[in-house]
Structure 1
C-alpha cells in the first residue's frame, strides 16, 4: 500500500535553477519531472493551472546529473584484522549528501561473514530509502560466492545484479586465480549478462602485486572478450601500476577506474593526481572513471604481509578530488562530470537511463552551489537530500 505522504504528494516537480549541465551546458534552466523521469527541459516552462506540481526554485544553484559511485562497500568492508575490524555499513544520507544518486555495492576480502545475500538486502534497503542501488555478485575470491549458486543465474534472475566483483588480482589477499579461471569467469558473466539484457562487467580489484594488470592484458590479448567487459579499479595504487594503467587503456581502448584514496602516499596517486596523470599520458577522458571505495577498509600490512592497522574509507574524498579537477582547471565542468556520472553510466550499462539530464531519463539530479558543493540530490524525481534540511 502506498504511504499516505506519497499519495498526497504532487505528481509533478518543476525545478528552476540558475544553470543546467546535461553534462554539456544547456540554455534550459527549468526541468520538469513526472513519474520519476525528466518530462521536459526548457526556459520559463508553464504548467497549466490546477495541475498537481511542486515548484522548487534555486536560481543560485546549478543542476547536473546525479553522481554514480560504482564501488561502494555498502555493508562495510574490512575484517582483515579479525571480526573487530569490520567496517560499518553506509547510510543513504551519507550517499546522497555527496550528490550521489546511484551506487553499486561490492563485497571485498570478507566473503565469509558477509555474503551476497547480505549485500542484496542492503541494496534493497537503500532503494527503499530512495537511492538507486545495484550490486556485483561475488567477492575477492574464486570461485565467487553467489546468490543462486551460479554467476549466470545471478545475472539473469536478480535485477539488482549488474556484474561480478570485486574479483581480486595481483594481491596477497586474492585467491591467486589462474589465467584460465579468470577467462572462464569473465566469459560466464558475459553470457549471463547477454541473456539478461545487461552489460555485465567484471569489476577487478587490482592490488600492489608485481603482476599488476598482466592478467587483464592477457585476457584481452588472448581471448575474444571485449575490453568493455573488464574494469580494473584502484589503478592508482602506486606509480608503476598507474603507468601500466595508462598503457593498458591506450593499447586496448579500455576504461580504467581511479580510486579517490584518502590515504594516498603521494600527491600524484590521489584521485586528482591520477586523473591528471592519465590525461597527460593521452588517455581519453571518456575512458576514465572515479569511485570512492567508501566504507571499505584501508588496511596496512608490514613487509611480511602481517596486518598492522586500518582506517575506514569515506566518499568525501571522491567529492574533494573531483571538485579540485574543476577548480584547478584540469577539466571543464562538463567534461569532469563524466568521471562520476556519464562515463560511469556507460561502463555499467545504465547509459540509456542515467548519467544525463535529458527527456525520458531518470530524474536523478544534483544541485551544486558556486563552490561545487552538493546542496540537493534527487533520485527518480524524489528529493533524498537537502543540505538545509528541506523535506
Structure 2
C-alpha cells in the first residue's frame, strides 16, 4: 500500500520477544524497508546514519497481522426499514483488533448502497492506512456491478478481488438456478484470470433446508475448482455445520466460520472450529471472519422481521484467542484461521499472511493474553504506542 514519504519511516527495525511466522522462529528481529520485510535475524543492525526507526517490542509476540475476509465497511442491515441500516466501520476499529487487511462486502441492501459506495469506503480505509479490498455484487442475482459486467469489474478495478456475498439457502436470496450460479462463478473466474487474481466467489449461507446443496451441485456438475467457492456463516446451525463438514471433506474445500457474538441457535466460532476439527476437517480448510458492521436480524417462522443487532469484530479475536489458550489448536495453526490460510483463499499468499522476507510488513504485536497491542500495516504503526497513521 502506498504511503506518503512523511507518514512512514523508510527503514524500521522491530525487535520482538517471540515470533510466529506463522511457525515459531528463533529469530525475533524484523528489518522492514519501504513497507516490506527485508530480513529476519537476531541482533540485526544497519549502518550508522541510515534513516532508521527502532520499535522495541521485547515483551510482545509478533504474528502475521490478521485478515478479515467479510466486513460490511459501509454498514449492513436494512431488513427492518431505513432506521435499521448499520453504520460503517472505521480504520481505528479494524486495526485495534490486530487486523491489517479487510475485504468489504455488500449484503441484503444493494439499493441504498452500491458497489460504488463500497469502493469509496475501501479507498477511504486505504487512505487511513488499512489494506482494503472488496467483492463486487451483493445478495441478489444478477449482482450489481460497477462496470455493468462481472468480468470487467474483476479485470479493470484493482480493489475488486472476487464476487460476494451471493445469498443461498435464505429467504432473502434471489433463489438463483444452477445455471445462473454456474454462469456467475465462471464469469468471475475468467475476469479474475485476466487480471491475475484468484477471483473467489463468497457465498452467504442462510438457514434454509437446502444448505450447501447448491454448491455441491455446482462443483459436481461443472469444472469449477473448489478453491474458487467459499461458503460463509456455515455455523449458523448445527445441521448446516454438519453439512459444511461433509462438504469440506468431500471436495477438499474451504469453509468459513463466522464469529457471531450471540450465535443463537447456531454455534460460536470457537465451538464451530472445534466441531469441524472433530469431524475430520483439516485446520487448513477452515477460516474465520467477523461479518462486522453487518446486521444480525431476527425473523420469526414466517420470515417476519423481529429485531436486529450490529455485529462487531471483537468476537473474532476473542474466539481466536480461546482456540489458542484452550489448546484447541497450536499457535501456528490458529494463525492460519485468520491470517495465513485467509491470504491463500483470497489469492494474496505471495504478499500476506506470513512474516518472511519479501512479504508486506503487516504485523500484529500481541501481549501475553494474545491481545493486540500494536498493529503495523506495510511497516507503518497505525495502532498502539508510536502510532503514525490517521485512524479517524
| Contact in 1 for aligned 2:9/2:380 (Cα 8 Å) | no
Offset at residue 6 of structure 1 (A): 3.5
Partner of 2:273: 275
| Contact in 1 for aligned 2:206/2:233 (Cα 8 Å) | yes
Q: How does 1:56-205 map to 2 (within 5 A)?
A: 56-205=55-204
- What CA distance in whole angstroms lies between the structure 2 residues aligned with 1:375 and 1:317? 17
- What CA distance in whole angstroms lies between the structure 2 residues aligned with 1:315 and 1:62? 21
From 285, 288, 296, give the equivalent of 1:287: 285
Asked if residue 366 in structure 1 is aligned to residue 376 in structure 2, the reply is no
Partner of 1:332: 330
TM-score normalised by the chain length of structure 2: 0.97
Judging changes above 3 Å, is the alpha-carbon distance between structure 1 residues 8 and 327 closer, same or farther for their aligned structure 2 residues?
closer
| Contact in 1 for aligned 2:32/2:38 (Cα 8 Å) | yes
SS at match of 1:7: coil
- What CA distance in whole angstroms lies between the structure 2 residues aligned with 1:6 and 1:362? 17
Offset at residue 390 of structure 1 (A): 4.5
Partner of 2:264: 265
Asked if residue 305 in structure 1 is aligned to residue 303 in structure 2, the reply is yes
- What CA distance in whole angstroms lies between the structure 1 residues aligned with 2:296 and 2:322? 23
SS at match of 1:269: coil
SS at match of 1:217: helix
- What CA distance in whole angstroms lies between the structure 1 residues aligned with 2:174 and 2:303? 15
Judging changes above 3 Å, is the alpha-carbon distance between structure 1 residues 32 and 170 closer, same or farther for their aligned structure 2 residues?
same
Partner of 1:321: 319
Offset at residue 221 of structure 1 (A): 0.6
- What CA distance in whole angstroms lies between the structure 2 residues aligned with 1:211 and 1:354? 35
Offset at residue 10 of structure 1 (A): 3.4
Partner of 2:354: 356
Judging changes above 3 Å, is the alpha-carbon distance between structure 1 residues 117 and 8 closer, same or farther for their aligned structure 2 residues?
closer
- What CA distance in whole angstroms lies between the structure 1 residues aligned with 2:5 and 2:197? 31
- What CA distance in whole angstroms lies between the structure 2 residues aligned with 1:55 and 1:194? 41
In the TM superposition, what whole-angstrom CA distance separates every residue of 1:62-116 from its partner, at most 9, and x where no partner exists? 0000000000000000000011100000000000000000000000000000000
- What CA distance in whole angstroms lies between the structure 1 residues aligned with 2:53 and 2:213? 54
How many aligned residue pairs are there?
A: 387
In the TM superposition, what whole-angstrom CA distance separates every residue of 1:309-338 from its partner, at most 9, and x where no partner exists? 000000000000000000110001111000
- What CA distance in whole angstroms lies between the structure 2 residues aligned with 1:9 and 1:330? 38
| Contact in 1 for aligned 2:8/2:380 (Cα 8 Å) | no
- What CA distance in whole angstroms lies between the structure 1 residues aligned with 2:339 and 2:176? 32
- What CA distance in whole angstroms lies between the structure 2 residues aligned with 1:185 and 1:336? 32
- What CA distance in whole angstroms lies between the structure 2 residues aligned with 1:44 and 1:246? 46
- What CA distance in whole angstroms lies between the structure 2 residues aligned with 1:389 and 1:139? 38
